[in-house]
Amino acid sequence: MSGDVAVLGAGMHPWGKWGRSFVEYGRVAAREALADAGVDWPDVQSVVGADTVRGGYPGYVAGATFAQALGWQGARVTSVYAACASGAQAVNTARAQILAGMADVVLVVGADAAPKGFFAPAGGERPDDPDWLRFRVLGATNPAYFALYARRRMAVHGDTLEDFALVKVKNAAAGALNPHARYRAPVSAEQVAASAVVADPLRLLDICATSDGAAALVLSSMEFARRHGAADPVRIRAVSTVTPTYPKAVLDLPDIATDSAVAAEPASGSFRASIARAAYEEAGIGPCDLSLAEVYDLSTALELEWYEDIGLCPAGEGAALVREGATALGGRIPVNTSGGLASFGEAVPAQAIAQVCELTWQLRGTAGERQVPGARAGITANQGLFGHGSAVIAVR
């Protein structure tokens, strides 16, 4: 049976396009997290780094890279790569080390210096790589995939372009209040509608950018937190890293076909819904207990899908939530109080860690103008390529 681990510190490097090494960004975020925790770097017993992969291989082994950048001091190191779920996998690795008694204090760092434009697989012939295949065989870039999901929602649930635009308007309003965000200006629905079509029906302002950025956490055992003077820290209560089950009835990245459902009945619910369900089961709470959520708004339409996947509403009712303002700041269940990827852009290894940073600040009551009053529990959710689930539940 798992237990809680304490979040002693959280830190970020502002996101944008800075033209510097991801190592520099990670070092800044790590030092901020250590300062926030009141922990000296020599006292860290383990470093878990979320890898960035460029050109088909990790150019740096992140755990050791960040340990070296901070100054070798003998800590255990681990490096994790799970695409967009890398940060959650890194948090889970740190948690496992703490609960296993291998370390009392662990630093988790993710950072990236992303290329311009949408992400694409590395070059070369790789017919056994489903992500390479969808680009090479189908021409299905990430924006095209997002657009297919948007079209499906429009056809199945009746969502409209106006519904999608409201998601961007909501997230931009929150991002305008976040000093770490890349885009800090409010956006109107008219501006979304007037932006260039990228992959019909999605406009430029419906889709997130790629960014440079970094996020870091200092995690510890509850015993260490108490000795350190943190009597009531934010706690990580669950981390879900589940994989899909077959048969699958709905096309989902990175697969380019579904398997036959003749021999077995499809699972109830989607893969993304199973990610959140596993986290709720481990934490012993449900959607009704949440104060807020951070979800992956790779596109505006995908955010609406996440509302349903994490149980905020039944299937097909995500657009109704955003229309009524329930997921905006001041609403019944605010989603992406950080501003989301709409305001940050993608810095792949850092993203899931950044989500936990936002939960930490919200649960501490230190999120400033973005603060959700009385926040007590929150969930993060995203999905990495190749069946990497990712959800974290934090409580206070």
pLDDT in tens, 344-353: 999 999 999 9
pLDDT at 386: 78
- Find the DSSP H helices in the chain: 22-37, 62-70, 86-99, 130-136, 142-157, 161-175, 189-194, 222-227, 271-283, 300-309, 318-323, 340-344, 351-364
Helix (H, G, I), strand (E, B) or coil at 380: strand
What would the mean pLDDT of 128-147 be, rounded to a whole number? 85
pLDDT at 270: 86
Per-residue pLDDT band for 78 (boundaries 50, 70, 90) equals very high
Q: What is the pLDDT of residues 229-264, one digit of tens each?
A: 999 999 999 999 999 888 877 777 667 677 777 788
Cα separation, 231 vs 260, in Å, equals 53
Q: What percent of the chain has pLDDT over 70?
A: 97
* 117: pLDDT strictly greater than 70: yes
Cα separation, 205 vs 15, in Å, equals 17
| Contact residues for 177 (Cβ-Cβ < 8 A; gap 6+) | 329, 339, 368, 369, 370
Length of the chain measured in residues: 396
Per-residue pLDDT band for 54 (boundaries 50, 70, 90) equals low
Cβ contact 256:134 at 8 Å? yes
Per-residue pLDDT band for 321 (boundaries 50, 70, 90) equals very high
Q: What is the pLDDT of residues 188-208, one digit of tens each?
A: 999 999 999 999 999 999 999
pLDDT at 1: 42
Q: Give the pairing type, strands 105-113 and 46-50.
A: parallel
What would the mean pLDDT of 271-293 be, rounded to a whole number? 96
What would the mean pLDDT of 46-70 be, rounded to a whole number? 80
* 53: pLDDT strictly greater than 90: no
Q: Which residue has the tokens 């959607």?
A: 287
Cβ contact 317:335 at 8 Å? no
Cα separation, 364 vs 232, in Å, equals 10
Ramachandran assignment for 158, one of left (phi > 0), alpha (psi -120 to 50 degrees), beta (any other): left
Burial class of residue 79, CB neighbours in 10 A (0-12, 13-18, 19+)? buried
Q: What is the pLDDT of residues 206-227, one digit of tens each?
A: 999 999 999 999 999 999 999 9
The two tokens of residue 381 are 């959710």
Q: Which residue has the tokens 């700041």?
A: 329
Distances (CA, A) of 159 to 6, 148, 250: 40, 13, 18
Cβ contact 343:306 at 8 Å? no
Question: How high is the mean pLDDT of the chain?
Answer: 93
Query: 3-state secondary structure string, 121-138?
Result: CCCCCCCCCHHHHHHHCC
Global pTM? Answer: 0.95
* 55: pLDDT strictly greater than 60: no
How many alpha carbons fall within 13 Å on the CB side of residue 267? Answer: 16
Per-residue pLDDT band for 2 (boundaries 50, 70, 90) equals low
* 60: pLDDT strictly greater than 70: no
* 6: pLDDT strictly greater than 90: yes
Helix (H, G, I), strand (E, B) or coil at 213: strand
* 136: pLDDT strictly greater than 90: no
Give the residue with greater pLDDT, 130 vs 207.
207
pLDDT at 58: 55
Tell me the helices (H) and strands (E) count for the chain, helix number first: 13, 13
Cα separation, 107 vs 94, in Å, equals 8
